[in-house]
């Protein structure tokens, strides 16, 4: 008798075989039918027990959330919507779940409630599906880069530099007084806490990835990054995972090609490998849509959106062209932009980005050549002296999913830019070395992994696509 998972039972023809199966009870009806889920798939398997031979005490303990083992035979199912079921000969309760206390009852729970129970929420269909898709997307990310000659580089989490120059870092401190440096008056000097230095949690692995691109040719990071931005939006987390490829001898056009090809490739991967989960999530959104007024409903279903992105070219538009479009547009006949675009040089707000993607072009958009003074210090200055070779990929329902650029490879131009922004040369001496020794054109981008998972699963809040979200209100897990 072999142990099997639900997905193995459903995907292989093992009719009339005896198996062992372990999982958690979703529901128990008529003292006979257990819907069992083991996390291997969205699907439950029906386990049919004989209540006459099952001890009373065991029957009482088959409650939602309990962990059980069943032994039995795989048989064809008479029930609707399932091909096979388990005719149970033996059942053992591994872990009880008190129905009075178990928070995840077989009914619809609000996402707010489930966020407070992040340790249990993956026992629901929606969160099980989202997290399996997330896992498959991670694998697809590595597969894409590994198959295309990229080297995976683990960049530091604790760092002395501010890669984005935006001051949105969390400082690293030690809580152990004997290990902390002291100020002259004997207090802990929190500013120099990392063995005498000031350090913070990384906001991006880009600068270090550049060093690896300038030696290994093609590099990528995929790791946690931290931002101390106190923004309570459905698109921001204080801790999120970022994917950052960086390529030597590649210009901005190559960077746009790479971003588009990469995104399409990972979405294709999940369309192929996450069918059951995506179909479930698709249906969930269709049902939700039916409760909304007609003009709030989505034009495309989740699966249609995913296929649309895979099958269509992203529209490439310069910042200057975008500004012209936005100056001459209103989101709809009645409404103006909350922040009207009056002049060239203004930073785009999410309402503008969403207008371009969702209303004007109706497809993913890559905006490029932004004004230098609204972008980071490391971006390559164009010959016009006022724009940089930056790009943002904007997605429907998400807004910015990717930010990237060709990097400033010219030592003098970079030093001058750092000077105007007050970034000390000593702080980034090693980064400047890359421009002193064998410098070359190079480019890369950062893709926020959770925004990709959001797009892939249709979840509207970013807190619902990362296992334990870190936001201004929530860090208790």
Q: Using alpha carbons only, what angle is made at residue 40 by residues 21 and 83, rounded to the nearest 5 degrees? A: 70
Contact map string, positions 248 to 267, toward Mg ion, x by CB under 5 A: --------------------
- Binding ligand 4AD by CB under 6 A: which of 404, 409, 431, 456? 404
Contact map string, positions 356 to 395, toward Mg ion, x by CB under 5 A: ----------------------------------------
Q: Which is nearer to ligand 4AD, 28 or 378 (CB)?
A: 378
402 binds ligand 4AD (CB under 6 A): yes
- Binding Mg ion by CB under 5 A: which of 403, 404, 458, 469? 403
**CA 171 remoteness from chain centre:** 24
Window of 58-66, 176-184, 396-404, 424-432 that interacts with Mg ion by CB under 5 A: 396-404
Q: What share of the chain is helix, strand, coil (3-state, %, to 5)?
A: 35, 25, 40
Least spacing, CB of residue 236 vs ligand 4AD, in Å: 4
Least spacing, CB of residue 400 vs Mg ion, in Å: 6
Query: For the chain, what's the residue count?
Result: 477
Cα first-last separation, the chain: 39
204 binds ligand 4AD (CB under 6 A): yes
450 binds ligand 4AD (CB under 6 A): yes
- State how far the alpha carbon of 16 is from the alpha carbons of 37, 84, 468, in Å: 20, 10, 41
Choosing among Mg ion, ligand 4AD, none, which partner's interface includes residue 227 (Cβ < 5 to 8 Å by kind)? ligand 4AD
Least spacing, CB of residue 454 vs ligand 4AD, in Å: 9
Window of 127-135, 182-190, 366-374, 446-454 that interacts with ligand 4AD by CB under 6 A: 446-454
Phi, psi of 100 (to 5 degrees): -70, -25
Choosing among Mg ion, ligand 4AD, none, which partner's interface includes residue 402 (Cβ < 5 to 8 Å by kind)? ligand 4AD
Q: Which is nearer to ligand 4AD, 95 or 472 (CB)?
A: 472
CA atoms within 13 A on the CB side of 276: 13
Question: Residues touching ligand 4AD: how many (CB under 6 A)?
Answer: 23
Q: Distance between CA atoms of 250 and 218, rounded to whole angstroms?
A: 10
- Of residues 337 through 366, those in contact with ligand 4AD by CB under 6 A are none
Q: Which is nearer to ligand 4AD, 223 or 448 (CB)?
A: 448
Least spacing, CB of residue 414 vs ligand 4AD, in Å: 15
Window of 185-193, 211-219, 426-434, 442-450 that interacts with ligand 4AD by CB under 6 A: 442-450
404 binds Mg ion (CB under 5 A): no
Q: Distance between CA atoms of 460 and 301, rounded to whole angstroms?
A: 14
240 binds ligand 4AD (CB under 6 A): yes
- Binding ligand 4AD by CB under 6 A: which of 244, 260, 353, 409? 244
Q: Which is nearer to ligand 4AD, 124 or 206 (CB)?
A: 206
* DSSP helix/strand/coil, 137: helix
User: Buried b vs exposed e over 106-143: b needs ≥16 C-beta within 10 Å?
Assistant: eeeeeeeebbeebeebbbbbbbbbbbbbbebbbebbee
399 binds ligand 4AD (CB under 6 A): no
Write the DSSP string, 380-444.
PBPTTSSEEEEEEEEETTTEEEEEEEEB---HHHHHHHHHHHT--TGGGHHHHHHHHSS---EEE
Locate 405 and state its tokens: 């650029």
164 binds ligand 4AD (CB under 6 A): yes
114 binds ligand 4AD (CB under 6 A): no
- Binding ligand 4AD by CB under 6 A: which of 85, 400, 408, 409? 400
399 binds Mg ion (CB under 5 A): no
Q: Which is nearer to ligand 4AD, 34 or 393 (CB)?
A: 393
Sign of CA dihedral 358, 360, 362, 366: negative
**Are 111 and 127 in contact, with CB atoms under 8 Å apart?**
no
- State how far the alpha carbon of 156 is from the alpha carbons of 130, 222, 223, in Å: 28, 11, 9
Least spacing, CB of residue 264 vs Mg ion, in Å: 21
Q: What is the four-CA torsion angle of 258, 264, 265, 268, rounded to 10 degrees?
A: 180
Residue 314 is classified by DSSP as P
446 binds ligand 4AD (CB under 6 A): yes
- Binding ligand 4AD by CB under 6 A: which of 72, 128, 396, 448? 448
**Are 7 and 41 in contact, with CB atoms under 8 Å apart?**
yes
Q: Distance between CA atoms of 319 and 390, rounded to whole angstroms?
A: 10
Q: Distance between CA atoms of 49 and 85, rounded to whole angstroms?
A: 11
Residues that bind ligand 4AD (CB under 6 A): 163-164, 204, 206, 227, 229, 236-237, 240, 242, 244, 400-404, 444-448, 450-451
Residues that bind Mg ion (CB under 5 A): 403
């Amino acid at each position: 008798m072999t142990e099997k998972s639900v997905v193995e039972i459903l995907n292989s023809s093992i009719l009339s075989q005896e198996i062992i199966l372990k999982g958690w009870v979703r529901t128990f009806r008529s003292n006979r039918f257990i819907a069992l889920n083991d996390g291997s798939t969205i699907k439950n398997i029906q386990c049919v027990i004989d209540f006459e031979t099952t001890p009373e005490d065991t029957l009482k303990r088959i409650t939602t959330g309990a962990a059980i083992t069943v032994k039995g035979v795989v048989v064809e199912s008479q029930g609707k919507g399932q091909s096979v079921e388990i005719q149970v000969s033996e059942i053992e309760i591994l872990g009880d779940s008190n129905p009075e206390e178990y928070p995840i009852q077989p009914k619809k729970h609000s996402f707010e409630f489930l966020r407070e129970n992040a340790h249990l929420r993956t026992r629901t269909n929606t969160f099980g599906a989202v997290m399996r898709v997330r896992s498959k997307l991670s694998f697809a990310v590595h597969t894409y880069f590994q198959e295309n000659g990229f080297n995976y580089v683990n960049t530091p989490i604790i760092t002395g530099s501010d890669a984005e120059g935006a001051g949105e870092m969390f400082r690293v401190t030690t809580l152990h007084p004997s290990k902390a440096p002291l100020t002259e008056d004997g207090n802990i000097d929190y500013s120099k806490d990392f063995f005498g230095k000031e350090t913070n949690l990384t906001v991006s692995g880009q600068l270090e990835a550049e060093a690896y691109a300038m030696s290994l040719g093609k590099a990528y990071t995929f790791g946690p990054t931290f931002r101390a931005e106190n923004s309570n939006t459905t698109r921001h987390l204080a801790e999120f995972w970022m994917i950052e490829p960086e390529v030597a001898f590649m210009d901005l056009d190559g960077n746009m090609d790479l971003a588009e090809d990469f995104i399409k490739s990972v979405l294709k991967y999940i369309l192929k490998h996450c069918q059951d989960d995506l179909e479930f999530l698709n249906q969930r959104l269709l049902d939700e849509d039916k409760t909304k007024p007609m003009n709030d409903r989505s034009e495309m279903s989740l699966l249609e959106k995913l296929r649309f992105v895979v099958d269509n070219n992203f529209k490439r538009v310069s910042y200057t062209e975008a500004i012209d479009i936005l100056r001459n547009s209103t989101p709809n006949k009645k409404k103006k932009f909350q922040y009207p675009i009056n002049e060239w040089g203004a930073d785009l707000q999410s309402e503008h980005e969403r207008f371009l993607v969702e209303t004007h072009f109706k497809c993913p958009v890559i905006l490029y050549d932004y004004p230098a003074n609204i972008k980071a210090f490391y971006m390559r200055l164009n010959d016009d002296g006022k724009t940089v070779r930056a790009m943002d990929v904007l997605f429907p329902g998400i807004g910015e999913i990717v930010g990237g650029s060709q990097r400033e490879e010219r030592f003098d131009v970079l030093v001058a830019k750092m000077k105007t922004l007050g970034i000390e040369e000593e702080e980034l001496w090693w980064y400047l070395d890359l421009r002193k020794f064998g410098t070359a054109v190079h480019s890369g981008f950062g893709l926020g992994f959770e925004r990709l998972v959001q797009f892939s699963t249709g979840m509207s809040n970013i807190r619902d696509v990362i296992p334990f979200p870190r936001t201004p209100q929530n860090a208790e897990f």
